[in-house]
Chains A and B, each alone.
Chain A
């Protein structure tokens, strides 16, 4: 019998508010420990939480974008557990009546197929503080700056069947929350954290026991953690064992998951309505205002760009994986650059270089105004694509425009037919042996002659012209 994998994901998205969910303390990342934890975050006696309107707006914005119902009387609950970085002894979260109810996301897979992933709910909750285990001999340090930071926990249905689907879902969700401006979704800083619920079963059988692998913080790790967990569970069952419901951790250095703790039942959180917070009544007008101001969503931009510029599905998807990339692409073609050329350069050279330097797209040192002329010089034949790549590197490391660099380095392409012919002749004269071999049938030497001409011209001969002229010279 074949095994079937069942995956559900819980994603904690940190909302991009200036202040916390229930207090006026700052949420800025990386500040001095405890400098941003106020009396409310610390749960000192006599304080009252007051809900941040912007966090509510953001949750509604997300809900309307995924076609969910917005719960018009949404409730906060206390989720009780003990841990030193949770100062109140409970987390203010939502249990019954989460603000976002249902909805779905369409994902696209590598084979071109698509699948709709149902979302069960998304709810608002406050984050816990941070425990520092390494720096204080035999003790744990507690930094409560993160305590109270607003999170939207997005819970998918258990409807993904492979690590590929899980990663596609996460990427779609990641680009959506960034497009909506509700989170920077910086995975390294923990603004977009994923818990993977994984189980296996024989086809048609009831769901198997699931494990939860917590806080996986990159797409690659999610893929690896799921693959490892699926294999582990199958091997365990096939050798006569059974899967325990437990919480696991992914270790990136070994690619394995290991037990963190066995999960207590949900009831043990002893949820009850938070007496400090009234129900939040959300009327139709509030929801419609937010819906009317939604930006163009990533999948809408993707379809529009693909259709308008005859792009491949792949290019359109990459170009709309972040709002900033789509805007950059549209700015470039606004200068009259051919869309396909712009797409190739953005998804190839530019994104490759950003990746290599570990930079976010919006941090690119070459803005659209400086990048567009580089592509224009390729199109008008001033430089070849190969030379353009060298110029691109110079532009990346400096502030000069393409024209200044071409002039200063004398990189202008040689498109003068007579000049190219003369160099071809010189190469043929200097390599009579190879010429004879070529003419007696060794076609492969064509590349050798191209190489020789390029060497003499320092790569500046117009490649298309050179091809034609060389062929002519060799065949006569």
Chain B
């Protein structure tokens, strides 16, 4: 596996909305050490083993009936955040954010 470059690590951090890192060189080294661990895992012989989408692949997802069973708990939930107004959660202005990737 090729080594992860610092520029790639910075992009990953951006996508994950992590704050800028202080010692990128060290972080990059640590990250590459992690990747080497995956290399070891990848080395395991899995010839002839079917891929799993889920550890319980043969079980099926239970389905529920289309019934409304939840009550309005917005008053309680709104206390979990620092800023609310008129029943909505307030966050820093998001309109200038070019990074929304919806849909």
Binding site for B on A (CB under 8 A): 10, 12, 17-19, 23-26, 32-39, 42, 44, 50-56, 75, 80-84, 86, 91, 96-97, 128, 131-133, 135-136, 138-144, 153, 195, 214, 260-262, 264, 268-270, 273, 275, 277-281
**Bound complex: CA of A159 vs CA of B21, how far in Å?**
46
CB contacts under 8 Å to A, within B52-103, are: 53-54, 56-57, 59-70, 72-74, 77-78, 83, 85-95, 97-103
Contact, CB under 8 Å: A34 / B53: no
Q: Is B19 an interface residue (CB 8 A)?
A: no
Q: Which residues of B sit under 8 angstroms from A270, Cβ to Cβ?
A: 15
Which of these, A10, A52, A141, A142, contacts B66 with CB under 8 Å? A52
Question: What are 22 inter-chain pairs, A to B, with CB distance below 8 A?
Answer: A12-B103, A18-B67, A19-B69, A19-B70, A24-B69, A24-B70, A33-B87, A37-B74, A39-B77, A53-B66, A82-B15, A83-B97, A96-B53, A128-B102, A139-B91, A140-B92, A153-B103, A195-B103, A262-B98, A268-B101, A280-B63, A281-B61
- Among A86, A132, A279, the one with the most B-chain Cβ atoms within 10 Å of its Cβ is A279
Contact, CB under 8 Å: B90 / A52: no
Q: Which residues of B sit under 8 angstroms from A80, Cβ to Cβ?
A: 15
Main secondary structure of the interface of B (DSSP, over half): loop
Contact, CB under 8 Å: A141 / B90: yes
Given known A-B contacts A34-B77, A140-B95, A279-B61, A54 and B100 have beta carbons under 8 A apart: no
Given known A-B contacts A24-B69, A84-B91, A132-B88, A52 and B101 have beta carbons under 8 A apart: no
**Bound complex: CA of A440 vs CA of B56, how far in Å?**
97
Q: A259 CB to closest chain B CB, in angstroms?
A: 9
Contact, CB under 8 Å: A37 / B64: no
Contact, CB under 8 Å: B57 / A33: no
Q: Which residues of A sit under 8 angstroms from B99, Cβ to Cβ?
A: 82, 261
* Nearest-CB residue, chain B, relative to A151: B103
* Nearest-CB residue, chain B, relative to A83: B100
Q: Which residues of A sit under 8 angstroms from B61, Cβ to Cβ?
A: 51, 277-281
CB contacts under 8 Å to A, within B3-24, are: 15, 17
Q: A72 CB to closest chain B CB, in angstroms?
A: 11
**Bound complex: CA of A51 vs CA of B65, how far in Å?**
9
Known pairs A52-B63, A139-B93 / 5 extra A-B pairs, C-beta < 8 Å: A10-B103, A34-B87, A42-B77, A52-B66, A140-B95
Which of these, B60, B83, B89, contacts A278 with CB under 8 Å? B60
Q: Which residues of B sit under 8 angstroms from A97, Cβ to Cβ?
A: 53
**Bound complex: CA of A140 vs CA of B94, how far in Å?**
6
Contact, CB under 8 Å: A133 / B95: yes
For the complex, count residues of B whose C-beta is within 8 A of A: 42
Which of these, B60, B78, B101, contacts A81 with CB under 8 Å? B101
Contact, CB under 8 Å: A214 / B78: no
**Bound complex: CA of A19 vs CA of B65, how far in Å?**
9
Q: Which residues of A sit under 8 angstroms from B54, Cβ to Cβ?
A: 75, 273, 275, 277-279
Q: A54 CB to closest chain B CB, in angstroms?
A: 4
Q: Which residues of B sit under 8 angstroms from A141, Cβ to Cβ?
A: 85-86, 88-90
Given known A-B contacts A35-B74, A132-B88, A140-B90, A214 and B65 have beta carbons under 8 A apart: no
Contact with A along B16-35 (1 / 0, CB 8 A): 01000000000000000000
**Top 4 A-B residue pairs of the complex, sorted by shortest distance between their CB atoms:** A24-B69, A141-B88, A54-B66, A53-B63
* Nearest-CB residue, chain A, relative to B94: A140
**Bound complex: CA of A144 vs CA of B87, how far in Å?**
10
Contact, CB under 8 Å: A56 / B68: no
* Nearest-CB residue, chain B, relative to A40: B70
Q: Which residues of A sit under 8 angstroms from B77, Cβ to Cβ?
A: 34, 37, 39, 42, 44
Contact, CB under 8 Å: A264 / B93: no
Contact, CB under 8 Å: B102 / A86: yes
Given known A-B contacts A133-B95, A279-B53, A280-B60, A17 and B101 have beta carbons under 8 A apart: no
**Bound complex: CA of A166 vs CA of B74, how far in Å?**
41
**Bound complex: CA of A139 vs CA of B90, how far in Å?**
6
Contact, CB under 8 Å: B60 / A18: no
Q: Which residues of A sit under 8 angstroms from B85, Cβ to Cβ?
A: 136, 141
**Bound complex: CA of A24 vs CA of B66, how far in Å?**
7
**Bound complex: CA of A50 vs CA of B62, how far in Å?**
7
Which of these, A19, A33, A131, A214, contacts B103 with CB under 8 Å? A214
Q: Which residues of A sit under 8 angstroms from B101, Cβ to Cβ?
A: 81, 83, 261, 264, 268-269
**Bound complex: CA of A153 vs CA of B59, how far in Å?**
26
Which of these, B15, B60, B89, B93, contacts A281 with CB under 8 Å? B60
**Bound complex: CA of A26 vs CA of B65, how far in Å?**
13
Q: Which residues of A sit under 8 angstroms from B100, Cβ to Cβ?
A: 81, 83, 261
- Among A34, A35, A214, the one with the most B-chain Cβ atoms within 10 Å of its Cβ is A34
**Bound complex: CA of A86 vs CA of B17, how far in Å?**
14
Which of these, A132, A139, A261, contacts B92 with CB under 8 Å? A139
**Bound complex: CA of A408 vs CA of B48, how far in Å?**
87
**Bound complex: CA of A277 vs CA of B60, how far in Å?**
9
